[in-house]
Amino acid sequence: MTFLQDMLHRRLLLLAMMVLTCISLAALEYTPGQLIFKTTADMTAKGTKIGLNAFDTFLGNHGVKSIRPVQGMPGNRYFVADISSMPDINQLKSNSFRFSGIEYVQPNFLRKMHVNPNDPLYSRQLHYLSSIPQAWAYTTGSKEIIVGVVDSGVKIFHPDLINNIYINPHEIPDNGIDDDGNGYIDDWCGWDFAGFRAD
Ligand SMILES: [Ca+2]
Ligand SMILES: [Ca+2]
């Protein structure tokens, strides 16, 4: 085998491995080697420990490599742990792992692409609507179903939305008070989780 043939052979092998990796990742529901957990009080990670003995032992048994806060979440209660071996996935999914000081520990679930709806004006919709086609395929007009939109913003005065946008009936707007006691002040029409404010 010539050097050129050898290089070509290696590159084809690498390409095949990359394709197989992409196919494998596409089939996964979560990021391998990562856990998301929430503590019951504000905590600070020190190296590979969060300061809760039983939970630190659990992470240590799964080869914890690092712990870091989840970006954009309020307070200091949301963390990502990089680990070498995943705990039993069914127990993780069912929130069966219980530890003092830990509200939950779960896989780092992946978002999935959805199918396109049969709306003839779909190509004229704003880009963020492409994340809810499965909901459109299920129903396009029930007041019984509230759709949560996770994005950087929603044009609430859009003609398609203005009469359908959800208003929190238990929150009085702009009075600086968390009227419904859900932890978010003036969240009468959505919430900015990045800036932790109502607008
Ligand atoms: Ca509130
Ligand atoms: Ca209020």
Ligand 1 centroid vs 188 CA: distance in angstroms?
Answer: 7
Exposure string (b/e) for 147-181, b if CB count within 10 Å is 16 or more?
A: eeeeeeeeeeeeeeeeeeeeebeebeeeeeeeeee
Note the pLDDT tens digit of each residue in 126-178: 654 555 666 666 666 677 878 788 887 888 888 878 888 899 999 999 999 99
Ligand 1 centroid vs 192 CA: distance in angstroms?
Answer: 12
Section 49-72 average pLDDT: 95
C-beta neighbour count of 79 within 10 angstroms: 22
User: What is the predicted pLDDT for the residue at 57?
Assistant: 97
Q: Which residue has the higher pLDDT, 155 or 180?
A: 180
Of all ligands present, the nearest one to the C-alpha of 172 is 2
User: What is the predicted pLDDT for the residue at 3?
Assistant: 43
User: What is the predicted pLDDT for the residue at 129?
Assistant: 58
Ligand 1 centroid vs 157 CA: distance in angstroms?
Answer: 22
The answer to whether 89 touches 109, Cβ cutoff 8 Å, is no
Q: Is the pLDDT of residue 26 over 90?
A: no
Domain architecture of the chain: domains with CATH: 31-109 (3.30.70)
Q: Which residue has the higher pLDDT, 19 or 96?
A: 96
Section 16-41 average pLDDT: 69
CA distances from 194 to 5, 95, 103 (A): 52, 26, 21
Instruction: Provide the mean pLDDT of the chain.
Output: 80
Mapped onto helix, strand or coil, the DSSP state of residue 56 is helix
Mapped onto helix, strand or coil, the DSSP state of residue 7 is helix
Ligand 1 centroid vs 158 CA: distance in angstroms?
Answer: 24
25 pLDDT tier (thresholds 50, 70, 90): very low
Q: Is the pLDDT of residue 27 over 50?
A: yes
Report for 26-35, 71-80, 118-127: range of highest mean pLDDT:
71-80
User: What is the predicted pLDDT for the residue at 122?
Assistant: 65
User: What is the predicted pLDDT for the residue at 148?
Assistant: 84
Ligand 1 centroid vs 130 CA: distance in angstroms?
Answer: 28
Percent above pLDDT 70 for the chain? 71
Ligand 2 centroid vs 145 CA: distance in angstroms?
Answer: 24
Of all ligands present, the nearest one to the C-alpha of 177 is 2
Of all ligands present, the nearest one to the C-alpha of 182 is 1
Residue 108 tokens, joined: 């780092």
Ligand 1 centroid vs 4 CA: distance in angstroms?
Answer: 66
Beta-bridge partner residues of 37? 79, 105
Q: Is the pLDDT of residue 62 over 90?
A: yes
Note the pLDDT tens digit of each residue in 81-105: 999 999 999 998 888 899 999 999 9
pTM of the prediction? 0.49
User: What is the predicted pLDDT for the residue at 150?
Assistant: 83
CA distance 145 to 133: 15
